[in-house]
Amino acid sequence: MTAPLRREPPRGEGSTPDPARAVRLRRLNRWQAETLREDLADLYVESSRGQAGQEYRGREAFLRRLTGDIRRAGFALLVAEDTAFAGCAYGFPVPREGTWWRGFDGALPQSVEQLTASGHVFAITETMVHPHTDDQDLARRLQQRLLGDHHASLGATLVDQADTRSYDTLLSWGWQDIGSIRRPPDPTAVRPSAPQLLRVLVLPLGQRGATHPDGLAHENRNQRPD
């Protein structure tokens, strides 16, 4: 996740969104995502807080990531729009063989490993919200809708350690930090870069109880068919 998220203001604070400008959420298929990739890149640049003069490099890196994700099995993209794109979230189901977790520091929690093997983990790889949108809870709604559409038992995402704003926001939404993961540098980058050390956050969507207070329950009856 690279675009900073915003906390939802406490009730009573901030302006009330104008119903006439309320955003609607819409799913895009692979072909539509490919067709609108330049518009999505514009949204990325406008929603990011990159260093001045680095916009082009950040945009190209985003387009490379988007192209790679679109090719993944089960890729899904959700946009929020009023008169233009107000936000976007996308991702894909984590492969059952667990390759997405390569580079995890230490042992992966058993509950996460079991949910991965049953096909119930969905990785959200990008969440972006235009800074001028009136909907302060839009990023959270995008994530919830994306995970709900795929009947996921566990959401997963990666956050740059330097992005404390997004990290704190996700924790306030119920995401849990389960460790760190090291990802190799982008092989298509113009300039070589060092491997990234990212925080791994998960969002349990199962029922909480005395046996599984964290909501990370594994239920065989929910195992997805091949």
Whole-angstrom CA distances from 11 to 16, 23, 129, 136, 142 are 10, 20, 20, 11, 20
Q: What's the pLDDT score for residue 192?
A: 52
User: Per-residue confidence at 222, pLDDT binned at 50, 70, 90?
Assistant: very low
Cβ atoms of residues 111 and 153 within 8 Å: no
Least confident of 3-12, 55-64, 204-213: 3-12
pTM: 0.81
Buried b (16+ CB within 10 A) or exposed e, 85-96: bbbbbbbbbbbb
CA atoms of 201 and 12, how far apart (whole Å): 29
| Residue 61 CB neighbour total at 10 angstroms | 20
Domain 23-222 -> CATH class: alpha beta
What does the pLDDT look like over 46-93, one tens digit per residue? 988 655 556 778 899 899 999 999 999 999 999 999 888 899 999 999
For the chain, domain boundaries: 23-222
